[in-house]
Amino acid sequence: MGKIYFIILLSAIICGAYFYGVNITKANCRANYAEQNFLDIQQTQQHKREIHEVVYKTGVADIRRILRDKYTIAE
């Protein structure tokens, strides 16, 4: 009878260790995904900030000149 309890206890420990490992692996995966997502958001915000700086520093005269150079009818 003692061997049966020992085998049951050993099986329970092995199953517990397995599920604990699966849980830790999923948590690490979520953390890596969250970190990558955070870095992507930062990169996107930096890119938007650069675009806004260019737009805000461009005056009306510059826009008119750029549009005239691009879209005039060439003779």
Q: Is the pTM of this model over 0.75?
A: no
pLDDT for the residue numbered 3: 92
C-alpha 24: how far from its chain's center? 20
Percent of the chain scored above 70 by pLDDT?
A: 97
Going from the C-alpha of 61 to that of each of 9, 18, 28, 57, 72, the distances in angstroms are 81, 68, 53, 11, 16
**How distant, in Å, are the alpha carbons of 60, 69, 70 from that of 74?**
23, 10, 10
pLDDT at position 61 is: 73
Q: Is 73 a residue whose pLDDT tops 90?
A: no
DSSP 59: -
Location of structure tokens 């900030």: 49
